[in-house]
Amino acid sequence: MFRNAAELVEIAENENIKISEVMIRQEMDVKDKTREEVFAQMETNLSVMEKAVEEGLQGVKSHSGLTGGDAVLLQKYLQEKQPLSGELLLDAVSKAVATNEVNAAMGTICATPTAGSAGCVPGTLFAVKNRLHPTREEMIRYLFTAGAFGFVVANNASISGAAGGCQAEVGSAAAMAAAAIVEMAGGTPQQSADAFAITLKNMLGLVCDPVAGLVEVPCVKRNAAGASNAIVSADMALAGVTSRIPCDEVIGAMYRIGRAMPSAHRETAEGGLAATPTGRALEAKIYGIPMKKE
Amino acid sequence: MKYKSVFDIIGPVMVGPSSSHTAGAARIGRAARNLFGREPAWAEIHLYGSFAKTYKGHGTDVAIVGGLLDYDTDDQRMGKSIQTAEKKGMKVSFHEDEAATEHPNTARVKIGDAEGDLELVGISIGGGKAEITELNGFELHLSGNHPAILVMHNDRHGAIASVTQILAKHEINIGRMEVSRKDIGKEALMVIEVDQNVEDKVMQELENASHILQLSKIVD
- pLDDT tens column, B69-98: 999 999 989 989 999 999 999 999 999 998
Q: Are residues B205 and B97 in the same domain?
A: no
**In this complex, do A115 and B18 lie within 8 Å of one another by their Cβ atoms?**
yes
A·B CB contacts under 8 A: 171
Q: Are residues B116 and B177 in the same domain?
A: no
Radius of gyration of chain B (CA): 17
> What are the extents of the domains in chain A?
5-287
- Which CATH number do you get for residue B169? 3.30.70.260
In a domain, B3, yes or no: no
Give the per-residue pLDDT at A105.
92
Min distance A45 CA to chain B CA atoms (Å): 7
Min distance B133 CA to chain A CA atoms (Å): 17
C-alpha–C-alpha distance, residues A282 and B179, integer Å: 49
In a domain, B104, yes or no: yes
Q: Are residues B138 and B166 in the same domain?
A: no
Residue B39 has pLDDT above 60, yes or no: yes
Backbone torsion region of residue A276, taken as left when φ is above 0, otherwise alpha when ψ lies between -120 and 50, otherwise beta: beta
Q: Are residues B125 and B178 in the same domain?
A: no
Q: Are residues B19 and B87 in the same domain?
A: yes
- Name A110's bridge partners: B13
Give the per-residue pLDDT at A86.
95
Q: Are residues B105 and B23 in the same domain?
A: yes
Asked if A281 and A291 touch (Cβ cutoff 8 Å), the reply is yes
Model confidence at A292, pLDDT cuts 50, 70, 90, reads: low
C-alpha–C-alpha distance, residues A279 and A272, integer Å: 9
For residues B185-204, average pLDDT = 89
Q: Which residues of A touch B15 (CB under 8 A)?
A: 106-108
Domain A5-287 in this protein, CATH class: mainly alpha
In a domain, B1, yes or no: no
Q: Give the closest of B17, B53, B74 to A270, CB-based.
A: B53
Question: What would the pLDDT profile of A168-213 be if each residue is shown by its tens digit?
Answer: 999 999 999 999 999 999 999 999 999 999 999 999 999 999 999 9
Domain count, chain B: 2
Alpha-carbon distances, residue A104 vs A145, A177, A215, B81 (angstroms):
26, 21, 6, 18
CA A149-A179-A6 angle, to 5 degrees, is 50
Min distance A162 CA to chain B CA atoms (Å): 6
Q: Chain B residue closest to A100 (CA)?
A: B17
- Which CATH number do you get for residue B109? 3.30.1330.90
Q: Are residues B99 and B76 in the same domain?
A: yes
Q: Are residues B35 and B114 in the same domain?
A: yes
In a domain, B66, yes or no: yes
Q: Chain B residue closest to A270 (CA)?
A: B53
**Host domain of residue B160:** 148-218
pTM of the full structure: 0.88
Residue A113, preceding peptide bond in cis (omega within 30° of 0): yes
In a domain, B2, yes or no: no
In a domain, B6, yes or no: no
Residue A294 has pLDDT above 70, yes or no: no
Residue A143 has pLDDT above 70, yes or no: yes
Q: Give the closest of A23, A155, A216 to B3, CB-based.
A: A155
Q: Which residues of B touch A267 (CB under 8 A)?
A: 20-21, 50, 54, 104
* Sheet of strand B148-154: strand arrangement: B174-181, B187-194, B148-154, B212-218
Give the number of other CB atoms < 10 A from CB of residue A29: 10
Q: Which residues of B touch A108 (CB under 8 A)?
A: 13-16, 74, 76
Q: Are residues B161 and B73 in the same domain?
A: no
Maximum pairwise Cα distance, chain B: 50
Q: Are residues B22 and B74 in the same domain?
A: yes
Q: Give the closest of A1, A108, A286 to B13, CB-based.
A: A108
Alpha-carbon distances, residue B129 vs A43, A136, A154, B4, B124 (angstroms):
21, 28, 11, 11, 6
For residues B47-56, average pLDDT = 90
Q: Give the closest of A107, A151, A163 to B3, CB-based.
A: A151
Give the per-residue pLDDT at B213.
87
**In this complex, do A159 and B59 lie within 8 Å of one another by their Cβ atoms?**
no
Question: What would the pLDDT profile of B99-119 be if each residue is shown by its tens digit?
Answer: 888 888 999 999 999 999 999
Could you tell me whether strands B91-96 and B105-113 are parallel, antiparallel, or unpaired per DSSP bridges? Answer: unpaired
Q: Are residues B114 and B155 in the same domain?
A: no
**In this complex, do A269 and B16 lie within 8 Å of one another by their Cβ atoms?**
no
User: What is the DSSP secondary structure assignment for residue A167, as one 8-state letter?
Assistant: I
Q: Are residues B115 and B44 in the same domain?
A: yes
**In this complex, do B126 and A159 lie within 8 Å of one another by their Cβ atoms?**
yes
**In this complex, do A45 and B13 lie within 8 Å of one another by their Cβ atoms?**
yes
Last residue of a domain, one of B103, B124, B142: B142
Last residue of a domain, one of B92, B114, B142: B142
For residues A61-77, average pLDDT = 95
DSSP assignments along A216-248, one per residue = -TTHHHHHHHHHHHHHHHHHHHHTT---SS-HH
Give the per-residue pLDDT at B220.
62
